[in-house]
Amino acid sequence: MLLIAQIASARRSQIAARAGIDLFEVSLSLLLRDLPYLVRDGPVDLIGHLAGLPVVNGGYLRPSRRVRSVVPDDLAVTPRPPGLVMTRTPRYGGVAVAPAVPTADPPRGLTND
- Dihedral, 5, 49, 21, 60 alpha carbons, nearest 10: -60
Instruction: Report how far residue 16's alpha carbon sits from residue 108's, in angstroms, rounded to the nearest whole number.
Output: 55
Residue by residue, pLDDT tens for the chain (113 residues) are 688 889 889 989 999 999 899 999 998 888 888 888 888 887 788 888 888 888 888 788 888 888 888 888 887 888 889 888 888 877 776 676 666 666 666 566 655 55
Neighbours of 65 (CB within 10 A): 8
Q: Which of 54, 63, 16, 12 is nearest to 33 (CA)?
A: 12
Residue pair 8/35 in contact by the 8 Å Cβ criterion: yes
> Is 0.85 surpassed by the pTM of this model?
no
